[in-house]
Structure 1
Amino acid sequence: MTHQASLPDHDGQRRSSTAVPPAPALEVRSLHITFRERRSEVHVLDGLSLQVQPGEFVSLIGPSGSGKSTLFHIIGGLTAPDAGSVLMDGQDVTGEKGRIAYMPQQPALFPWRTVEDNVLLPEELRGASKTAARENARSWMERAGLAGFEKAYPHTLSGGMQQRAAFLRALMSPQEVMCLDEPFSALDALTRSDMQRWLLDIWEDTRRSVLMITHHIEEALLLSDSIYILSARPGTILKRVEVPFPRPRREDILNDPSFISLKTEISAIMREEQHKH
């Protein structure tokens, strides 16, 4: 959607001008990659393209083995594509590391560091004042329900608390784009539901640009502004779904007929794709 802005003309009158929309926070253009072994080739991505606008929460769902994790490795600069490019704020960053904040499936907290020291690690690495970093970390930990656990070590926390700490560490990274790789997949159903509500509250305050991998359609609809449905391998985008529900969102939306209808539509697309292979 474009916005009209009025600018003074040479004669002093106001004229209308169309404002240039900002570049996507993240843009993936026509990625292709094939992994080659001695006697075989595995075609993983086939012209995959997607965008994450500034402040947008985007989910990517698709079958297992469809190249979702490979996509994250390419975005993070860990794997080079055969063709295609990765752009951030309109700048080509293909192959560059350190451009995203990343949260893997497992919390991956350093066991020898306290929870607080894990959370403030990104600010420590970029040379921020230790006092300011610690104050910031403690403020976020209090909001995340981790107050009182600052000096605890990761192994003493529940799975949900470890995931909160891992998310806060990603949140405190200076990068604008956050990539979340099935962050709640290892949690039980009740803890997962709690984490979804918590993430909604935190994200709605910060509005970071997020790309999240999930297999959970309901989770994607609850959290996201838009959803990309990925095909089976070789991965390409089958459809982009705009999520129409206003924010802030709460769990009671799960029972809304329009929510159920959209969930059914996405399920049908994914089932049809599975039956092709």
Structure 2
Amino acid sequence: MNDTPSSSPELSGTSTPARSDSTDNPALEVRHIRKAFRQRRGEMQVLDDLSLAVQPGEFVSIIGPSGSGKSTLFHIIGGLMPPGAGSVHMDGRDVTGQKGLIAYMPQQPALFPWRTVEDNVMLPEELRGVSKTQARANARQWIERAGLGGFEKAYPHTLSGGMQQRASFLRALMSPQEVMCLDEPFSALDALTRSEMQHWLLDIWEDTRRSVLMITHHIEEALLLSDSIYILSARPGTVLQKIEVPFPRPRREDILTDPAFLALKSDISSIMRQEQQKRQQVST
């Protein structure tokens, strides 16, 4: 069976954008993105003049009401969908419409069921031409680091949801692309497993410092993980506010009860409620 996927951005190509000599360029920047979809009753505007940036080694989250175009934005960034207007840049280069330039982790693990955990994790390096021996050795190191030691030969259907998500994240991590896009990676997990995965991701990210752009509806998750947060409006999605998260790293669980953390969480929640009310008014 063919192992080459047709739609996953992290595996749709193996080239990476040439890095600029300048250190001032964001790892990822989207500029004035607009997107509309044709419908029987006319066009539906999904994104409207949306701009944001992820600096090298920065963890950025996007939060916004359902239907505000967050996943559409990821499809544009990954080159799977053209914007109606605007552009996507990496390290200063216009890469609009180009595929294979990001590592992508969807809401569901999307592991290949016929491949073991080890074979799934090592796949990106195999596609890059790394020898199977070396790719397997690298995969095993990360599998052990991820707490999946002993499950190298297990198939995805035998794993819990949290274990599948760890393997899926490791596969994205093994991709050579500098920028990782995470689309609500923990939304399908129960509350306890989600909390465990958030802290696990923090530990892994502290080691690698990859440039990350994550979609989430979970305000606490965004504050715990992120350096900055973009709050989107209701459809058509545009940036309402950018928040620089003030809490120092490394972050631990006790930050969740810090008064400053709770106050910022409340402020963001208030903005989100207002946008949700606007969306309900428009729909009625």
Which amino acid counterpart does residue 54 of structure 2 have in structure 1? V
- Looking at structure 1, the residues matched to 138 and 24 of structure 2 have their Cα atoms a distance apart, in angstroms, of 29
Note the aligned Cα RMSD (angstroms).
1.1
Q: Which residue of 2 aligns with 1:195?
A: 197
Q: Aligned pair 1:40/2:42, yes or no? A: yes
Q: Which residue of 2 aligns with 1:122?
A: 124
TM-score, structure 2 as length reference = 0.90
Which of 164, 167, 170 is 1:165 aligned to? 167
Q: Aligned pair 1:111/2:113, yes or no? A: yes
Which of 232, 235, 254 is 1:233 aligned to? 235
- Looking at structure 1, the residues matched to 41 and 31 of structure 2 have their Cα atoms a distance apart, in angstroms, of 29
Note the 1:27-106 alignment, pairs <5 A.
27-106=29-108
**Larger Rg belongs to:** 1
Task: Please state how far the C-alpha of 1:276 moved relative to its aligned partner.
Answer: 2.0
Q: Which residue of 2 aligns with 1:151?
A: 153
Task: Please state how far the C-alpha of 1:272 moved relative to its aligned partner.
Answer: 1.3
Q: Which residue of 2 aligns with 1:23?
A: 25
Which amino acid counterpart does residue 24 of structure 2 have in structure 1? P
Task: Please state how far the C-alpha of 1:129 moved relative to its aligned partner.
Answer: 1.5
Task: Please state how far the C-alpha of 1:258 moved relative to its aligned partner.
Answer: 0.3
Q: Secondary structure at the match of 1:276?
A: helix
Which amino acid counterpart does residue 194 of structure 2 have in structure 1? R
Q: Secondary structure at the match of 2:115?
A: coil
- Looking at structure 2, the residues matched to 203 and 225 of structure 1 have their Cα atoms a distance apart, in angstroms, of 12
Task: Please state how far the C-alpha of 1:38 moved relative to its aligned partner.
Answer: 3.3
Q: Which residue of 2 aligns with 1:211?
A: 213
Q: Which residue of 1 aligns with 2:135?
A: 133
Q: Secondary structure at the match of 2:99?
A: coil
4+ residue segments displaced more than 6 Å = none
Task: Please state how far the C-alpha of 1:21 moved relative to its aligned partner.
Answer: 4.3
Task: Please state how far the C-alpha of 1:84 moved relative to its aligned partner.
Answer: 0.1
Q: Aligned pair 1:244/2:210, yes or no? A: no
Which amino acid counterpart does residue 174 of structure 1 have in structure 2? P
- Looking at structure 2, the residues matched to 43 and 22 of structure 1 have their Cα atoms a distance apart, in angstroms, of 32
Deviation per CA, 1:202-250: give whole Å up to 9, x if none.
0000000000000000000000000000000000000000000000000
Task: Please state how far the C-alpha of 1:259 moved relative to its aligned partner.
Answer: 0.2
Which of 214, 221, 224 is 1:222 aligned to? 224
Q: Which residue of 1 aligns with 2:266?
A: 264
Q: Secondary structure at the match of 1:107?
A: coil
Task: Please state how far the C-alpha of 1:131 moved relative to its aligned partner.
Answer: 1.1
- Looking at structure 2, the residues matched to 145 and 21 of structure 1 have their Cα atoms a distance apart, in angstroms, of 35
Q: Which residue of 2 aligns with 1:11?
A: none
Which amino acid counterpart does residue 79 of structure 2 have in structure 1? G
- Looking at structure 2, the residues matched to 246 and 29 of structure 1 have their Cα atoms a distance apart, in angstroms, of 29
Structure 2 residue ranges without an equivalent (≥5): 1-21, 280-284
Which amino acid counterpart does residue 43 of structure 1 have in structure 2? Q
- Looking at structure 2, the residues matched to 134 and 22 of structure 1 have their Cα atoms a distance apart, in angstroms, of 36
Which amino acid counterpart does residue 95 of structure 2 have in structure 1? V
Which amino acid counterpart does residue 125 of structure 2 have in structure 1? E
- Looking at structure 1, the residues matched to 137 and 24 of structure 2 have their Cα atoms a distance apart, in angstroms, of 33
- Looking at structure 2, the residues matched to 40 and 61 of structure 1 have their Cα atoms a distance apart, in angstroms, of 27
Which amino acid counterpart does residue 194 of structure 1 have in structure 2? E
Q: Secondary structure at the match of 1:58?
A: strand
Deviation per CA, 1:4-29: give whole Å up to 9, x if none.
xxxxxxxxxxxxxxxx6420000000
- Looking at structure 1, the residues matched to 71 and 248 of structure 2 have their Cα atoms a distance apart, in angstroms, of 29
Deviation per CA, 1:137-192: give whole Å up to 9, x if none.
00000010111111110000000000000000000000000000000000000000
